């Protein structure tokens, strides 16, 4: 079996950090909204950042039908999607043992385009309420024309793995005697104060789904 393709979802490095169960994968996916999509274009890898939503056990992507990523998927739907959350710099006593606390998911799958209008609207609602829960009910829904200008794709994540590192640095035994500060600098994506655009009437207040957007504060 030496020449058989390796299982792309099997985590080979640091397997003790890996998880394959759906709960672990969904927990990482639901903590974020930005992914990096990898496709093969003219034989070369291309990695594109984009937002995502989740519909049960599949990731949702959307964008312009003429976006390069979707044209690539139209030719070859094999895709790799990675979601990564940075949780902290792990600062060890030795340069060698520095690391990062993080949570990540890597998905390998075949993307499927959603074409039926009702299915697209449903997916767009799930998408928006994933990124900003509660937003869909507050905004003008897409027109038929806008729907045509929006490609929606689903990537099933039945072939996925999560990888998580937490906790303090792990130094070599003899290095703990060194008078070097070591520990974790917690990091996380946080929200600032909402900035209304210039044409929001003064009587329209910041809605709760914006002011209480679920940020992930470090530490």
How many C-beta neighbours within 10 Å does residue 55 have? 17
Per-residue binding string, a second copy, 162-191, x by CB under 8 A, is: ------xx-----xx-xxxxxxxxxxxxxx
Phi, psi of 26 (to 5 degrees): -65, -35
74 binds a second copy (CB under 8 A): no
CB of 154 to a second copy, least distance (A): 17
What 3-state DSSP class applies to 90? strand
Distance of CA 116 to the CA centre of its chain: 25
22 binds a second copy (CB under 8 A): no
Q: Which two tokens stand for residue 21?
A: 């169960």
Q: How far apart are alpha carbons 58 and 38 in whole angstroms?
A: 16
The size of the interface with a second copy (CB under 8 A), counted in residues, is 100
Of positions 18, 31, 89, 126, contacts a second copy by CB under 8 A: 89
124 binds a second copy (CB under 8 A): yes
93 binds a second copy (CB under 8 A): yes
Of positions 22, 26, 27, 86, contacts a second copy by CB under 8 A: 86
65 binds a second copy (CB under 8 A): no
- Using the structure block, give the residue that is written with the tokens 């906790």: 167
Q: How far apart are alpha carbons 131 and 26 in whole angstroms?
A: 14
Of positions 26, 100, 112, 126, contacts a second copy by CB under 8 A: 100
Q: What is the DSSP string of 13-61?
A: SSGGGEE-SHHHHHHHHHT--EEEEEEEETTEEEEEEEE-EEETTEEEE
Q: Which two tokens stand for residue 79?
A: 């895709």
Of positions 17, 84, 156, 165, contacts a second copy by CB under 8 A: 84
CB of 156 to a second copy, least distance (A): 15
Q: Which stretch binds a second copy (CB under 8 A): 17-25, 53-61, 112-120, 197-205?
A: 197-205
Q: Which two tokens stand for residue 135?
A: 């937003």
31 binds a second copy (CB under 8 A): no
Q: Which stretch binds a second copy (CB under 8 A): 7-15, 19-27, 52-60, 112-120?
A: 7-15
């Amino acid at each position: 079996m030496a020449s058989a393709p390796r299982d792309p979802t099997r985590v080979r490095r640091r397997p003790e950090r890996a998880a394959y169960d759906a709960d672990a994968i969904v927990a990482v996916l639901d903590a974020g909204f930005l992914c990096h999509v990898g496709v093969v274009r003219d034989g070369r890898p291309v990695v594109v950042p984009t937002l995502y939503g989740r519909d049960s056990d599949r990731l949702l992507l959307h964008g312009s039908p003429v976006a390069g990523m979707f044209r690539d998927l139209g030719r070859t739907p094999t895709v790799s999607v990675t979601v990564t959350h940075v949780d902290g710099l792990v600062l060890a006593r030795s340069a060698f043992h520095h690391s990062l606390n993080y949570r990540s998911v890597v998905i390998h799958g075949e993307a499927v385009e959603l074409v039926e209008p009702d299915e697209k609207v449903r997916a767009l609602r799930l998408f928006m309420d994933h990124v900003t829960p509660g937003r869909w009910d507050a905004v003008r829904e897409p027109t038929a024309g806008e729907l045509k200008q929006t490609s929606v794709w689903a990537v099933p994540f039945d072939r996925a793995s999560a990888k998580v590192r937490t906790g303090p640095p792990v130094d070599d035994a003899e290095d703990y005697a060194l008078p070097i500060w070591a520990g974790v600098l917690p990091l996380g994506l946080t929200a600032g104060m909402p900035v209304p655009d210039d044409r929001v009437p003064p009587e329209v207040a910041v809605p709760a789904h914006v002011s209480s957007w679920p940020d992930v504060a470090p530490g």
